[in-house]
Amino acid sequence: MSVTNATFLSPQEAALAVRYRALRARTRRLAAPLSPEDAQVQSMHDASPTKWHLAHTTWFFVRFVLDDPSAIPEGWARLLNSYYTGAGESHPRLLRGLLTRPTLEQVLAWRDDVDARVLRVLEEGRLDDARLVALRMGMQHEEQHQELLLTDIKHALWCNPLGPAYREDLPAPHSAPGRADPGVRWLHRDETVVEIGAPRWPDDGAEFAFDIESPRHRVLVPAHAIAQRPVTNAEFAEFIADGGYDTPTLWLADGWDLAQREGWRRPLYWHEDGVREFTLGGWRERDPHAPVCHLCQYEADAFARWAGARLPTEAEWEMAASACEVDGNFADDDAPLHTVAPRPAVDADAPADMFGNAWEWTCSPYVAYPGFRVLPGILGEYNGKFMSGQVVLRGGSCATPRGHVRASYRNFFPPSARWQFAGLRLAKDAG
Ligand SMILES: [Fe+2]
């Protein structure tokens, strides 16, 4: 970077350049423990190879920020376009693991080249407002793929009978011996009208938010109670011991059929020995006090029914989370990358552990807020076109980069998805 040019940068653009460098370096650090063979594998349709994540996130900057065909080798664009029909054809998702070329070395070298180009146009002040919006979107997009990189490689490594660790040196997530589980405390809330959602970005608000979080709007929330903390591994083990996976009346029909077809007896990564679970650090003893994770929404819903409760709506969840600091067990460099027993609430009537640890399934379908508008252009395909057959999750997880989520953040997956770090918090109607 030339010092002369840098002096013409606005403080916002200078800060963006710093954040861009840190973001791209973090993705490289996440991939560093993996061999080229690890980075190649695709274990199922929902997951992508690490190499593809490294390349696809780079394609995003080339396509939407640089918009320069010379910045990508011939033929690669089709391989790396995930689902943007406005950006041309894309390679079938399930076949990403067959792409042995380009090699990992070529992809990493290309990342460096694209980074140099992006930083050059940014630091020379050559990005107009639309490209700056795309750059910010691309950075949020890469953070989402950082989480997917972890969840996808975890699934791939779990498929290997050797049970290899992503990182042997991850700190043990186990809580202190003898730590008391305080049991569920219910936080009662009267009927009220709340505002949820985020101001429309970049038009109405300074802070980044995805289009699906806006507009901010009012919702009538009936009287209800929400659990102070998420459901723990110990509580989910009680559900299993009580025949939860054998009791069809606890399950939605689609979930019951799927559970029978797939032979589900426990959460995705729990060992049949009843003691261990597969983590990014390999097979480890389960912490009974940590939030349960790797549930699909059907399992979360069945547990809630067994417990005489239900899943919260996203408005109930956001109302509770809005009072909390966005802090928790996120995917910092020295973090366990697994759920840990949450810190106690700051006071008796405050919710605990709303952010980080495990995404929390809600009972809310992923649909548009009233007045929703997709972003203009091809980037409008980012979120809005997936509003069918999916459910909202809230709060982030132990694989989410710190700073990525907020109270209004809406994640979404099909109710059958189990490979994300997703658990639940109970809610119930008043009375
Ligand atoms: Fe993507």
- Predicted confidence (pLDDT) at residue 41 exceeds the cutoff of 60: yes
Ligand 1 mean position to 305 CA, how many Å? 35
Ligand 1 center to residue 145 CA distance, Å? 7
How much is the pLDDT for 181? Answer: 61
CA of residue 91 to ligand 1 center, whole Å: 13
* Residue 178 pLDDT > 50: no
**pLDDT over threshold 90, residue 107:** yes
- Mean pLDDT over 23-27 rounds to 98
CA distance 314 to 411: 11
pLDDT at 390: 98
Query: Average per-residue pLDDT in the chain?
Result: 94
pLDDT exceeds 70 at position 2: no
In whole angstroms, how large is the CA radius of gyration of the chain?
22
Instruction: Quote the CA–CA distance of 272 and 240 in Å, as a whole number.
Output: 12
How far is the centre of ligand 1, averaged over its atoms, from the C-alpha of 75 (Å)? Answer: 18
- Please enumerate in sequence order all residues whose Cβ is within 8 A of that of 187, keeping only pairs 6 or more positions apart, or say none: 225, 226, 227, 228, 320, 349, 350, 351
DSSP 8-state code for residue 65: I
Per-residue pLDDT at 190 exceeds 50: yes
Position 180 pLDDT exceeds 70: no
Ligand 1 centroid, distance to 77 Cα (angstroms): 13
Distance 384 CA to ligand 1 centre (A): 14
Question: What single-letter amino acid sits at 365?
Answer: P
Nearest to 338 by CA among 407, 292, 294, 279: 279
Report the pLDDT averaged over residues 22-37.
Answer: 98
How close is the Cα of 204 to the center of ligand 1, in Å? 25
Q: Which fold has domain 3-159?
A: Four Helix Bundle (Hemerythrin (Met), subunit A) (1.20.120)
Superfamily of domain 186-429: paralog of FGE (formylglycine-generating enzyme) (3.90.1580.10)
Between the CA of 139 and the centroid of ligand 1 the distance, in Å, is 11
CA of 151 to the centre of ligand 1 (A): 14
pLDDT(139) > 70: yes
Mean pLDDT (whole number) for 190-216 = 93
The Cα–Cα gap between 49 and 43 comes to 8
Mean pLDDT of 228-234: 97
Res. 186: pLDDT tops 90? yes
To the nearest 10°, report the CA torsion of 390, 391, 396, 400: -10
Q: How confident is the model at residue 4 (pLDDT cuts 50, 70, 90)?
A: very low
Task: Give 415 Cα–ligand 1 centroid separation in angstroms.
Answer: 20
What does the domain layout of the chain look like in residue ranges? Answer: 3-159, 186-429
In this prediction, residue 206 carries a pLDDT of 75
**Given phi > 0 = left and psi -120 to 50 = alpha, else beta, which region is 201?**
beta
Position 1 pLDDT exceeds 80 = no
- Cα-based distances in Å from 182 to 147, 264, 325, 343: 30, 29, 22, 11
Q: Nearest CA to 404 among 210, 271, 201?
A: 210
3 band by pLDDT with thresholds 50, 70 and 90: very low
Share of the chain above pLDDT 70, in %: 96
Collect residues with CB below 5 Å from ion ligand 1. 82
- The pLDDT assigned to 404 comes to 98
The pLDDT assigned to 43 comes to: 98
pLDDT tens track for 309-350: 999 999 999 999 999 999 999 999 999 999 999 987 878 889
- Whether 232 contacts 175, CB under 8 Å: no
Residue 131 has pLDDT above 90, yes or no: yes
pLDDT at 431: 74
- What is the whole-number distance in angstroms between the Cα of residue 83 and the centre of ligand 1? 8
Distance, in Å, from the CA atom of 226 to the CA atom of 309, rounded to the nearest integer, reads 10
Region 388-399: mean pLDDT is 98
Report the DSSP beta bridge partners of residue 413. Answer: 391
